[in-house]
Amino acid sequence: MSRMEPPGIERILFTEQQIQQRIREVAHEISERYRGRSLKLIGVLKGAVFFLTALAREIEIPVEIDFLAISSFSPRPSAPGMVRIAKDLDESIEGQDVLLVEDIVDTGFTARFLLQTLAGRGPNSLAICTLLDRTSRRIVQVPVEFRCFEIPDRFVVGFGLDYKQLYRNLGYVAVMKLD
């Protein structure tokens, strides 16, 4: 069955098939890296939910999952975003191998804040896996160990990513027409 693209979509960047294929490859890399251990996947609500579930199903070692939610705010409209935890994890991560799962790493502020916060809780290891990486807009450097796709400097939606809370349920990633 084919579905019409909703209004506001300029072009599809990655199809559902391309995304599934790439997730399989990255899940294999992750399984190799952590072979013999178990892994805790931490998803950042809400954008990472679609990616996390697809990734988790392809990982070949035991995984636990947990979620946190953040909210961003800017003290001034032009200032870089500040981030706080709006919903914390349900369980401790002490001594565990933790993979922070993100929809997109853009400026890097969110990822850096979360890495610093989680590192303070004594995990055995901590790394980032992101569906999309937009390195051209990075302001703070963060180590991104696993990523599916690098993207151009355009606003994108789909596969978890939203525009005003819409479009998260698209199976593909598309460039948004913003005008």
Binding mask 37-76 for ligand IMP (x = CB under 6 A): ----------x-----------------------------
Q: What is the total count of residues that contact ligand IMP (CB under 6 A)?
A: 17
Residues in 100-119 at the binding interface with ligand IMP, rule: CB under 6 A: 102-111
Q: Residue 125 pairs with which residues in a beta bridge?
A: 97
Residue 172, interface with ligand IMP (CB under 6 A)? no
Structure tokens at 119: 């590192």
Q: Of the listed 97, 103, 106, 133, which one is catalytic?
A: 106
- Of 13, 30, 18, the C-alpha closest to 156 is 13
Site string for ligand IMP, 79-98 (x = CB under 6 A): --x-----------------
- Two tokens at 140? 């703070």
Token pair in block for residue 115? 């890495």
Point out which residues pair with 73 in neighbouring strands. Answer: 82
97 is catalytic: no
- In the window 146-165, what residues touch ligand IMP (CB under 6 A)? 155-157, 161-162
| Burial class of residue 94, CB neighbours in 10 A (0-12, 13-18, 19+) | exposed
For residue 167, what are the CA distances in angstroms to 6, 28, 132, 159, 178? 9, 28, 16, 8, 14
CB of 34 or CB of 51, closer to ligand IMP: 51
Q: From the CB of 35, what's the least distance to ligand IMP, in Å?
A: 29
What minimum distance in Å lies between the beta carbon of 51 and ligand IMP? 11
The residue type of 7 is P
Cα separation of 10 and 164, whole Å? 17
* Shortest Å distance, C-beta 100 to ligand IMP: 11
Which residues are tagged catalytic?
106
Binding site for ligand IMP (CB under 6 A): 47, 81, 102-111, 155-157, 161-162
